[in-house]
Amino acid sequence: MSERVAVRKTYKLFIGGKFPRSESGRSYLVQDANVSLASRKDARDAVVAARAAVKGWAGATAYNRGQILYRAAEMLEGRREQFVALGVPGDEVDAAVDRWVWYAGWSDKLAQVYGGANPVAGPYFNLSAPEPTGVVAVVAPERPALLGLVSVIAPAIVTGNTVVVATSPTEPLAAVTLAEVLATSDLPGGVVNLLTGRITETAPTLAAHMDVNAIDLTGVTDAELAADLEVKAAANLKRVLRPAPADHDWFADPGLGRMTTLLETKTVWHPKGV
Protein backbone atom coordinates (compact mmCIF):
# COMPACT_ATOMS: atom_id res chain seq x y z
CA MET A 1 0.00 0.00 0.00
CA SER A 2 1.47 3.28 -1.03
CA GLU A 3 1.12 6.34 1.14
CA ARG A 4 -1.43 8.87 -0.09
CA VAL A 5 0.05 11.68 -2.11
CA ALA A 6 -0.88 14.94 -0.49
CA VAL A 7 -2.63 17.68 -2.43
CA ARG A 8 -0.44 20.74 -2.18
CA LYS A 9 -1.83 24.20 -1.99
CA THR A 10 -1.06 27.00 -4.41
CA TYR A 11 -0.61 30.31 -2.63
CA LYS A 12 -1.95 33.16 -4.71
CA LEU A 13 -2.76 36.82 -4.40
CA PHE A 14 -6.09 38.08 -3.03
CA ILE A 15 -7.56 40.86 -5.15
CA GLY A 16 -11.18 41.93 -5.43
CA GLY A 17 -12.34 38.84 -3.51
CA LYS A 18 -10.63 36.50 -5.97
CA PHE A 19 -7.37 34.58 -5.81
CA PRO A 20 -5.46 35.37 -8.99
CA ARG A 21 -1.87 34.55 -9.80
CA SER A 22 0.41 37.48 -10.37
CA GLU A 23 -0.22 38.95 -13.82
CA SER A 24 3.53 38.71 -14.23
CA GLY A 25 3.36 34.93 -13.86
CA ARG A 26 6.11 35.09 -11.27
CA SER A 27 6.33 33.29 -7.96
CA TYR A 28 8.99 32.87 -5.33
CA LEU A 29 9.92 30.05 -3.00
CA VAL A 30 9.32 30.85 0.62
CA GLN A 31 8.30 28.79 3.68
CA ASP A 32 8.70 25.71 1.46
CA ALA A 33 5.99 26.91 -0.91
CA ASN A 34 5.71 28.76 -4.17
CA VAL A 35 4.05 32.07 -3.49
CA SER A 36 2.93 34.65 -6.04
CA LEU A 37 5.40 37.46 -6.54
CA ALA A 38 3.20 40.51 -6.99
CA SER A 39 4.16 43.07 -9.60
CA ARG A 40 3.48 46.79 -9.90
CA LYS A 41 0.56 45.96 -12.16
CA ASP A 42 -0.89 43.69 -9.50
CA ALA A 43 -0.60 46.61 -7.09
CA ARG A 44 -2.45 48.77 -9.60
CA ASP A 45 -5.20 46.17 -10.03
CA ALA A 46 -5.51 45.86 -6.28
CA VAL A 47 -6.02 49.61 -5.94
CA VAL A 48 -8.73 49.50 -8.59
CA ALA A 49 -10.47 46.71 -6.67
CA ALA A 50 -10.08 48.53 -3.38
CA ARG A 51 -11.47 51.77 -4.82
CA ALA A 52 -14.44 49.96 -6.32
CA ALA A 53 -15.24 48.48 -2.92
CA VAL A 54 -15.17 51.78 -1.01
CA LYS A 55 -18.69 52.91 -1.83
CA GLY A 56 -20.39 49.75 -0.62
CA TRP A 57 -18.16 49.18 2.39
CA ALA A 58 -18.08 52.77 3.64
CA GLY A 59 -21.79 52.96 2.95
CA ALA A 60 -22.59 49.80 4.91
CA THR A 61 -23.98 50.35 8.37
CA ALA A 62 -21.52 50.31 11.24
CA TYR A 63 -23.51 47.41 12.70
CA ASN A 64 -23.04 45.46 9.51
CA ARG A 65 -19.30 46.09 9.40
CA GLY A 66 -19.03 45.04 13.03
CA GLN A 67 -20.86 41.80 12.29
CA ILE A 68 -18.57 41.00 9.41
CA LEU A 69 -15.41 41.64 11.45
CA TYR A 70 -16.80 39.46 14.20
CA ARG A 71 -17.50 36.81 11.59
CA ALA A 72 -13.83 36.98 10.61
CA ALA A 73 -12.96 36.24 14.24
CA GLU A 74 -15.29 33.24 14.23
CA MET A 75 -13.79 31.88 11.03
CA LEU A 76 -10.25 32.41 12.29
CA GLU A 77 -11.03 30.64 15.53
CA GLY A 78 -12.30 27.69 13.52
CA ARG A 79 -9.08 27.49 11.56
CA ARG A 80 -6.79 27.82 14.55
CA GLU A 81 -5.01 24.53 13.88
CA GLN A 82 -4.38 25.39 10.28
CA PHE A 83 -2.39 28.45 11.33
CA VAL A 84 -0.56 26.52 14.02
CA ALA A 85 0.40 24.02 11.31
CA LEU A 86 1.89 26.93 9.34
CA GLY A 87 4.09 27.69 12.32
CA VAL A 88 2.06 30.45 13.91
CA PRO A 89 2.20 30.04 17.70
CA GLY A 90 -1.15 29.18 19.26
CA ASP A 91 -1.19 32.21 21.53
CA GLU A 92 -0.61 34.44 18.53
CA VAL A 93 -3.60 32.95 16.76
CA ASP A 94 -5.66 33.51 19.90
CA ALA A 95 -4.50 37.09 20.13
CA ALA A 96 -5.36 37.62 16.45
CA VAL A 97 -8.86 36.28 17.03
CA ASP A 98 -9.26 38.57 20.02
CA ARG A 99 -8.03 41.52 17.99
CA TRP A 100 -10.73 40.98 15.36
CA VAL A 101 -13.29 40.87 18.13
CA TRP A 102 -11.92 44.02 19.75
CA TYR A 103 -11.96 46.03 16.55
CA ALA A 104 -15.34 44.60 15.49
CA GLY A 105 -16.85 46.24 18.54
CA TRP A 106 -15.42 49.63 17.63
CA SER A 107 -17.39 49.86 14.40
CA ASP A 108 -20.45 51.41 16.00
CA LYS A 109 -18.73 53.15 18.91
CA LEU A 110 -15.84 55.10 17.48
CA ALA A 111 -18.04 57.86 16.06
CA GLN A 112 -19.43 58.44 19.52
CA VAL A 113 -16.02 58.55 21.15
CA TYR A 114 -14.22 60.44 18.39
CA GLY A 115 -17.00 62.72 17.15
CA GLY A 116 -19.77 64.67 18.73
CA ALA A 117 -21.70 67.88 19.01
CA ASN A 118 -19.77 71.13 19.20
CA PRO A 119 -21.22 73.91 21.34
CA VAL A 120 -20.63 76.77 18.92
CA ALA A 121 -21.39 80.35 19.93
CA GLY A 122 -24.41 80.80 17.70
CA PRO A 123 -27.77 79.36 16.67
CA TYR A 124 -26.33 76.36 14.89
CA PHE A 125 -26.48 72.61 15.03
CA ASN A 126 -22.82 71.60 14.73
CA LEU A 127 -21.69 68.01 14.58
CA SER A 128 -18.36 66.39 13.88
CA ALA A 129 -18.24 62.77 12.82
CA PRO A 130 -15.44 60.57 11.55
CA GLU A 131 -15.53 59.11 8.06
CA PRO A 132 -13.20 56.66 6.33
CA THR A 133 -10.47 58.27 4.27
CA GLY A 134 -10.89 55.76 1.41
CA VAL A 135 -8.23 53.42 0.05
CA VAL A 136 -5.37 52.64 2.41
CA ALA A 137 -2.10 51.05 1.34
CA VAL A 138 -0.50 49.02 4.11
CA VAL A 139 2.94 47.52 4.54
CA ALA A 140 2.29 44.78 7.06
CA PRO A 141 4.88 43.94 9.72
CA GLU A 142 7.21 41.16 8.83
CA ARG A 143 6.39 39.40 12.05
CA PRO A 144 4.37 38.37 13.93
CA ALA A 145 2.98 37.40 10.54
CA LEU A 146 -0.61 36.77 11.59
CA LEU A 147 -1.16 39.04 14.60
CA GLY A 148 0.75 41.87 12.94
CA LEU A 149 -1.32 41.54 9.80
CA VAL A 150 -4.65 41.46 11.62
CA SER A 151 -3.50 44.41 13.74
CA VAL A 152 -3.02 46.59 10.66
CA ILE A 153 -5.98 45.39 8.58
CA ALA A 154 -8.71 45.47 11.21
CA PRO A 155 -8.31 49.11 12.34
CA ALA A 156 -8.22 50.28 8.73
CA ILE A 157 -11.33 48.47 7.53
CA VAL A 158 -13.54 48.61 10.60
CA THR A 159 -14.32 52.26 9.92
CA GLY A 160 -15.09 51.72 6.24
CA ASN A 161 -11.74 52.00 4.49
CA THR A 162 -10.55 49.40 2.03
CA VAL A 163 -6.96 48.19 2.01
CA VAL A 164 -4.22 46.98 -0.26
CA VAL A 165 -1.67 45.17 1.89
CA ALA A 166 1.89 44.28 1.07
CA THR A 167 2.25 41.22 3.27
CA SER A 168 5.27 39.91 5.15
CA PRO A 169 7.71 38.91 2.42
CA THR A 170 9.35 36.24 4.56
CA GLU A 171 6.24 34.67 6.10
CA PRO A 172 3.43 35.16 3.56
CA LEU A 173 1.59 31.89 4.15
CA ALA A 174 -0.33 33.20 7.15
CA ALA A 175 -1.48 36.12 5.03
CA VAL A 176 -2.75 34.00 2.18
CA THR A 177 -4.47 31.71 4.65
CA LEU A 178 -6.04 34.73 6.33
CA ALA A 179 -7.35 35.73 2.91
CA GLU A 180 -9.20 32.41 2.84
CA VAL A 181 -10.68 33.28 6.23
CA LEU A 182 -11.79 36.67 4.93
CA ALA A 183 -13.17 35.21 1.72
CA THR A 184 -15.55 33.16 3.83
CA SER A 185 -16.49 35.93 6.28
CA ASP A 186 -19.07 37.84 4.23
CA LEU A 187 -16.47 40.53 3.67
CA PRO A 188 -17.27 42.13 0.29
CA GLY A 189 -14.66 41.51 -2.39
CA GLY A 190 -12.08 44.27 -2.67
CA VAL A 191 -12.27 45.49 0.94
CA VAL A 192 -9.06 43.62 1.71
CA ASN A 193 -6.52 42.95 -1.01
CA LEU A 194 -3.28 41.14 -0.29
CA LEU A 195 -0.09 41.30 -2.31
CA THR A 196 2.61 38.76 -1.53
CA GLY A 197 6.13 39.41 -2.72
CA ARG A 198 8.74 42.09 -2.31
CA ILE A 199 7.90 45.27 -0.43
CA THR A 200 10.41 47.15 -2.55
CA GLU A 201 8.40 46.27 -5.62
CA THR A 202 4.84 46.96 -4.51
CA ALA A 203 5.14 49.61 -1.80
CA PRO A 204 6.65 52.38 -3.97
CA THR A 205 3.84 51.91 -6.51
CA LEU A 206 1.25 52.14 -3.79
CA ALA A 207 2.94 55.13 -2.12
CA ALA A 208 3.00 57.05 -5.37
CA HIS A 209 -0.49 56.02 -6.51
CA MET A 210 -2.72 59.11 -6.79
CA ASP A 211 -5.89 57.14 -6.08
CA VAL A 212 -4.70 55.94 -2.68
CA ASN A 213 -5.70 58.11 0.28
CA ALA A 214 -3.39 56.90 3.03
CA ILE A 215 -0.39 54.73 3.60
CA ASP A 216 0.52 52.69 6.65
CA LEU A 217 4.28 52.12 6.76
CA THR A 218 4.17 49.98 9.89
CA GLY A 219 6.09 47.09 8.39
CA VAL A 220 8.85 49.10 6.73
CA THR A 221 12.06 48.38 8.62
CA ASP A 222 14.48 50.13 6.27
CA ALA A 223 14.53 53.80 7.35
CA GLU A 224 15.62 55.00 3.94
CA LEU A 225 12.81 53.14 2.21
CA ALA A 226 10.34 54.52 4.74
CA ALA A 227 11.49 58.08 4.05
CA ASP A 228 11.31 57.49 0.32
CA LEU A 229 7.78 56.10 0.58
CA GLU A 230 6.72 59.08 2.70
CA VAL A 231 8.13 61.45 0.09
CA LYS A 232 6.19 59.61 -2.62
CA ALA A 233 3.07 59.71 -0.48
CA ALA A 234 3.29 63.52 -0.36
CA ALA A 235 2.37 63.70 -4.05
CA ASN A 236 -1.33 63.63 -3.19
CA LEU A 237 -0.91 64.29 0.52
CA LYS A 238 -1.67 60.79 1.72
CA ARG A 239 -2.26 60.36 5.39
CA VAL A 240 0.80 58.55 6.74
CA LEU A 241 1.26 56.10 9.58
CA ARG A 242 4.97 55.93 10.21
CA PRO A 243 6.90 52.65 10.77
CA ALA A 244 6.43 50.91 14.10
CA PRO A 245 9.44 50.87 16.43
CA ALA A 246 11.38 47.61 16.33
CA ASP A 247 10.40 46.75 19.87
CA HIS A 248 6.68 47.27 19.34
CA ASP A 249 4.58 44.95 21.51
CA TRP A 250 1.89 43.52 19.23
CA PHE A 251 0.10 41.89 22.11
CA ALA A 252 -0.48 45.18 23.94
CA ASP A 253 -3.66 47.29 23.81
CA PRO A 254 -3.46 48.97 20.40
CA GLY A 255 -5.29 52.18 21.32
CA LEU A 256 -7.28 54.27 18.85
CA GLY A 257 -4.42 55.82 16.87
CA ARG A 258 -4.42 53.30 14.01
CA MET A 259 -8.11 53.88 13.43
CA THR A 260 -8.12 57.65 13.84
CA THR A 261 -5.15 58.32 11.57
CA LEU A 262 -7.12 56.73 8.75
CA LEU A 263 -10.24 58.78 9.38
CA GLU A 264 -11.42 62.17 8.22
CA THR A 265 -13.46 64.34 10.53
CA LYS A 266 -16.39 65.96 8.83
CA THR A 267 -18.10 68.86 10.55
CA VAL A 268 -21.62 69.81 9.51
CA TRP A 269 -23.27 73.12 10.35
CA HIS A 270 -26.94 74.00 10.13
CA PRO A 271 -28.86 76.96 11.47
CA LYS A 272 -31.55 76.40 14.08
CA GLY A 273 -34.67 78.38 13.28
CA VAL A 274 -38.38 78.15 12.68
Partner 1 sequence: MTATATSARSDLSELGRSETALRTFLHGLPGVDQVGAEQRAAQLGTRSIKTTAKAEAIDLAIRMVDLTTLEGADTPGKVRALATKALRPDPADPSCPHVGAVCVYPAMVPYVAEVLRGSAVHLASVATAFPSGQAPLEVKLADTRAAVEAGADEIDMVINRGAFLAGRYSEVYDEIVATKEACGDAHLKVILETGELATYDNVRRASWLAMLAGGDFIKTSTGKVPVAATPPVTLVMLEAVRDFRAATGRQVGVKPAGGIRTTKDAIKYLVMVNETVGPDWLDPDWFRFGASSLLNDLLMQRTKLTTGVYSGPDYFTLD
Partner 2 sequence: MFEYAPAPESRSVVDIKPAYGLFVDGTFVDPVDGGSFKSINPASEEVLAEIAEGGAQDVDRAVRAARTAYEKVWGPMPGRDRAKYLFRIARIIQERSRELAVLESLDNGKPIKESRDVDIPLVAAHFFYYAGWADKLPYAGFGPDPKPLGVAAQVIPWNFPLLMLAWKIAPALAAGNTVVLKPAETTPLTALLFAEICQQADLPAGVVNIVTGAGETGRALVEHPGVDKVAFTGSTEVGRAIARAVAGTRKKLTLELGGKAANIVFDDAPIDQAVEGIVNGIFFNQGHVCCAGSRLLIQESVADRVLESLKRRMAQLRVGDPLDKNTDIGAINSAAQLARIRELSDAGSAEGAERWSPPCELPERGFWFAPTIFTGVTQAHRIAREEIFGPVLSVLTFRTPAEAVEKANNTPYGLSAGIWTDKGSRILWMADRLRAGVVWANTFNKFDPTSPFGGYKESGYGREGGRHGLEAYLNV
- Residues in the site for partner 2, rule: CB under 8 A? 113-114, 116, 118-122, 124, 126, 128, 133, 213, 223-224, 226-228, 230-231, 233-237, 239, 255, 257, 260, 264-271
Quick one: 170 or 267, whose CB is closer to partner 2? 267
Q: How far apart are CA 38 and CA 43, in angstroms?
A: 7
Torsion of CA 218, 211, 262, 73, to 10 degrees: -70
Quick one: 177 or 213, whose CB is closer to partner 2? 213
Say if residue 237 is exposed, middle or buried (CB neighbours under 10 Å; 0-12, 13-18, 19+).
Answer: exposed
DSSP letter at 217? Answer: -
Residues 6+ apart with CB under 8 A from 247: none
Select from 67-75, 118-126, 148-156, 221-229 the region that touches partner 1 (CB under 8 A): 118-126
Stretch 124-143 residues interacting with partner 1 (CB under 8 A)? 124
Which of 25, 119, 123, 245 touches partner 1 (CB under 8 A)? 123
Quick one: 114 or 124, whose CB is closer to partner 1? 124
Quick one: 245 or 271, whose CB is closer to partner 1? 271
According to the binding rule CB under 8 A, does residue 119 interact with partner 1?
no
Q: How far apart are CA 229 and CA 27, in angstroms?
A: 24
Q: Which sign, positive or negative, has the C-alpha torsion 126, 128, 131, 137? A: positive
Applying CB under 8 A, the residues found at the interface with partner 1 are 122-124, 271-274
